[in-house]
Amino acid sequence: MKRPILMLIALITGAIMLSSGGLLLAEDPLKQACDQTSSGSTICDVDGKDPITGADGNGVLLKAASIIALVAGVAAVIIIIYAGMQYVLSGGDAQKTQSAKNTIMYAVIGLVVIALSSTIVSFIVTKV
């Protein structure tokens, strides 16, 4: 019973992460504030680059997405290793073997989602 609930939570979290990228880029409050003022603040003029998205693909959003993807990827690999150990140590018990196989499958699916979400965020940030 716990597996379907965890999968549902993971899917909802992934969907929120993927959909929030567009919401974050829908309005740029920094640009609006800089357009309304003529103070010539150093925050408004960062060598013609937007510090949030980064004109060269090196902005805060990409850095945050990369860090989150790295941490989640490492966690998924650790889960795969743990599930592999469970599989080897199952001793022929069908239920333990199936549980380990499911864990490996879900962790691999998680890695695919992580890779896709990182790619999508990079694409959106560099194109917008």
More confidently predicted of 101 and 40: 101
What pLDDT was estimated at residue 57? Answer: 58
For 69-114, write each residue's pLDDT tens digit: 889 989 999 999 999 999 999 888 999 999 999 999 999 999 999 8
Domain spans of the chain, in order of start: 2-24+50-127
For 9-34, write each residue's pLDDT tens digit: 777 776 666 655 554 455 566 666 66
Query: What span, in angstroms and rounded, lies between the C-alpha atoms of 24 and 20?
Result: 6
What pLDDT was estimated at residue 103? Answer: 92
What pLDDT was estimated at residue 2? Answer: 64
